[in-house]
Amino acid sequence: MTYQSTRGEDEGAGYSDIVLKGLAADGGLFMPRIYPQVTKTDLEDWRHLSYAELAFEILRLFATDIEEDTLKTMLAGVYREDVYNNGRTGEDFSKITPTRSIDGGKIRILELSNGPTLAFKDMAMQYLGALFEYILEKRNTELNILGATSGDTGSAAEYAMRGRKGVRVFMLSPEGRMSAFQRAQMYSLKDPNIFNIAVKGSFDDAQDIVKACSQDAGFKATYNIGTVNSINWARVSAQVVYYFKGWLEVTEKPGEVIDVTVPSGNFGNILAGWIAKQMGLPIGRLVVATNENDVLDEFFKTGVYRVRDSEHTFVTSSPSMDISKASNFERYIYDIVGRNAGRIRELWTQLALKGGFALTESEMAQVRESGFVSAKSTHADRINTIREVFEKEGLIVDPHTADGIFAARQYVRAGVKMLSLETALPAKFAATIQEAIGAAPEVPSSYVGIENREQHVTVMPADVGAVKKFISETLKA
């Protein structure tokens, strides 16, 4: 399996190479040259597999330059019950990603938030930590990870990389735009290889800085800069696994089609569902759930992709989705335009110059054919959804998952199971839960009192030069 850039100038790279590169040299995102195919027979043979065993069957199709025995051992060490056991009391953690039903079975929730940082990002990030350590040791080199987070990626990355040999993490986050719990998770870490930077701006500003540093070939080479954001293909490929696991959990017959709803900000989570579908997993609709930052909802309804600036990117009660420039969207559009790198360069040039672009009618026909639909949720919607689910099911869900349920309910089809992805545990958003149900959510014992711990973070303007200087001076110290 080899990989190519969405913008056409970086082709033929192997899995291990693109894991360390993150962003392609031409500014594009790496994609597999072809999607590996999975048959109905494969799916039926996989029904009895553990999560780690299923992950091996999927990831060996992408990571073809890693010896299979090595990959199998790595995944067995990552996907363990004692790592993914931070969820609700009484849950069956041996499944890693359990499912539960609501609305009389009309919607099945896939729990992805039982990992160390209580968010779905752990599903791929724990793997990425082990993968980085393996590749770096094999190549006798080091990596300085530069990432941006709207809330959950940062803590997942830091918890996955803390203590890893040859890895340092510089994580950018938008000052004052995450929940108190999210800030405490990241900023309370004292590990010497973890550095938190709060930029005065939005997540999009932080993400732009990461991309600018990655596109500076000299800086990237001098300081061995890599990334853990979902622009890194290894993360996306690992997220593909839980779509297969969810399908295997909720279906009853070969080839059964299900729909899937995903709360979406940076488009990486639902992109993994798209990839699973291209590989042969029987997925019908992919429902994109957005909050008030409804750039993606607008696109899927109109064909116009119009990003917002920091001032017009709203601070909401589902903060991990407060994103107006979805990085992984480029990978999806690459497929929609027939993998035409020239068309991607044209569209993303328009995006840079004009702040958006519009697809042609024939391209929008391909979007409709792809099965994507969307819905927008407001603060009132998610508060009502959290309250309704709690009152009817006795289940507390976080605000992002509530956005997903709100969207899923609009697209439930008779005779087709709807799988809605849980993206975080409610403990991370206590203030919103309190507003919705008048009570605080359950907090895992290891996180009790975390918001009172000493925090370590450097605040700086949203400026590429300032971040480069911080990294340079830190590494020289």
Task: Please give the positions annotated as active site.
Answer: 121
One-letter amino acid of 34: I
Cα angle 239-244-248, degrees, rounded to a multiple of 5: 145
Amino acid identity for residue 465 in this structure = G
Residue 320 tokens read as 């991990």
Estimate the crossing angle of helix 153-161 against helix 122-139, to 10 degrees.
Answer: 40
Q: With contact defined as beta carbons under 8 Å apart, do 18 and 237 qualify? A: no
* Separation CA 62–CA 124 (nearest Å): 14
Sign of the dihedral defined by the CA atoms of residues 261, 262, 265, 269, in that order = negative
- What's the burial of 343, exposed, middle or buried (CB within 10 Å: 0-12/13-18/19+)? middle
Q: Which two tokens stand for residue 14?
A: 């192997």
HEC secondary structure over 70-102: HHHHHHHHHCCCCCCCCCCCCCCHHHCCCEEEE
Joined together, the tokens standing for residue 193 give 């290889």
Spatial contact of 248 and 54, defined as CB atoms under 8 Å apart? yes
Report the DSSP beta bridge partners of residue 306.
356
